[in-house]
Structure 1
């Protein structure tokens, strides 16, 4: 700094300091500032990187999952617990991935189904005896089955254009050497949307000429555009030969027709006479069928009447037009039809079925005996059946009357035999009582006469009882009689018959054993006749207090509640016999589950 005073001093004052003393703290501050700036910069960069990674990480996760989805890994999800746009993006991505998984599973299933369908279709196309060629919308073939390759002599040639088909595959107009016009080929017409067929094409394979018949079918998409066309063709060599033979035969036939026309004209009057005779015979047969007191009908596979005679009109009090076309169920009613339905099922199974039952008619109940005869077609299938039914009500009443008369006769015989014997015994006892005191020797004569009358009455009683008692019971008890009946029936049927006895057999009264034997015999006969069973088991159980007879089969059974006792199965007779001896009759049966008849009686 300058310095001047009054005395004339003019100085320049200079202060000199070492630079190190002056700049030391400044340099230290500068270095500290630079280090702090670098540290702040690094910290800021790190924070920015972390923030950027925090922001970019879910986006990268979405990007990686999207790439994985693109590579076929369908089970990708994004776990982002954020709100806002990224959270919404993650949820949308997860939903999209889930839908893609479902769609891919469906697509795999559809592809598998499509592959199976394609395999089946290809097997079918390869097995059909018809040549099949498929062409795309441009007219180039891309499939031919083995029959087509065999007939054409070549396989699929994708490079062939529609204009080259006739030349490449040697297609000619039948009977000429002219190539078949391309526009007339069925595959070409099918590509134009036309569906038709032709039979004037020949395939030339060397020295061999194969006439074929061809069909063309266009296949459209949903918009009506042609996707591809199918041409089918088959070898008609045999048909052409047959047509040739037929043409030759027609020529010959025309000559023969011309020759025989005259003969036919001459025989026309004779044929008319034969026709008239046949018509008269048919009329006579119809009159005979209408005159017979028998129900004659034909029922078709739908169980509808197609033919009936006049007896139907009389018995059912309906006209022929009212019956024809109706089903058996409609004519007979539900209750009667359920009873005879098993027999109808048997005849449709191919069996000739006899029937005996009581059926209600408009005028009265009739006991009928009939036969169902199956009608077979050419394939041995039942197409209907003939029905012949006769009214046997009078015969049944006569049998019932005959039984009553026989019972009355036996009652009279017993009365005459025993009453006379016991009357004589009483008279001889009275006479003996009178002379007993006076003449003992005469009393001995009367006693001998009483003994003789008693023996005669006993012999007559035994003869009467023997006439009423079954012969099987004469030779033993109920157990042995049942075994003999089963043994006799084994020889007449293929059904397995088993007869068993449980417990120690003991004697029952004659009436009880007689009725039990008749019930068992009736149940066994019905099972053999109607049940169509594989096994029938007869069991006789002797308990201390009861005797039980059980007849069980594994046949078709019937509805117990829907079958009346008078239904033609002997149920009424069994019920009456059980009631007569004070026994309990139980019938257990269901359709298709067999039948079991149980008779229980208390031991005397």
Structure 2
């Protein structure tokens, strides 16, 4: 039997007790830490749920919770997201229904306004009558004027008080009264033109728009009268412009072709006794040009578009025109394009071709050039045509040159398409024609 001293025994017990206490304290700290972490995790999830719920309450329907957990909080987050999806769908449906109902209400309001407007028809018509000052307005019954606006009185040279009670025929030129009376008796509501008669005996062309309607319990005829003097003058100017255009087309076809034919025949007549082969070539070229000019004239009158552009572009058209014109001569033709060739608007291309033809025809008739250069520059936003010869040139200040019909037509064609035309020439220094147009 071993006897352990009490001091040793108690010392060991005390040591074990201290160890146990320390372990308990450590375990408690760990438990508290783990508990705090768990509480913090739960608090974060709850805060996220709270913020998402508040956002959803404020109409942020796209707000969703992104908590990837498998516990009850994860289930709660998924349930919340599902609820948010349903609420977003319900909100979308509600907005559609509100928009639909709003449209229905707007239509109902519009219909109600129309109904109210119909109830005050007389007042509205009078207001429109007063406001329609841009043309004469008259209300008639059986050809007698019941009411009119101030513009009507001013248009015909009367006082407004004089107009009321007058006959419609009093405002109509004698040669048109039968036409106007037929319109009134038949209740015609179309648009027609007539000649109106003023108080001082002068007349003016007018356009009449009439409508039969109910007014204060009576069937009346309301007519709007518009002075179309300016329009008629514009139409006359258009006709005159068309005549000028036709004159230009004739100049660009028959005149150009036969001018060249005459030059060829004159040269051929001088060569008949000295060089029969050259004379025959000139006569053949003249005959071909005459046929070509006649065909082109017929084609231009029919379609107003150059045959040279029918199946090709302006580059090939001018090249072919120059080659055909100068083939019997010793003149060298150089035709080149700068940049990539592209299509031009038909009207621009046709007018540029005509300007080029006129420049080449003038060079053929007057320049006596050894070389003619044709350059077409195709830039990104600009196109230019340059025709240059080394012939005898001319004095730019000469009256006959300034008043030349051909140069005048060239200028008009350039102006028509918004192009800039430049002509440079001096005696024995050749001539250069440049046309530039923005694309």
TM-score normalized by the length of structure 1: 0.28
The structure having more radius of gyration, on CA atoms, is: 1
Task: Give the structure, 1 or 2, with the largest relative contact order (CA under 8 Å, sep 6 or more).
Answer: 2
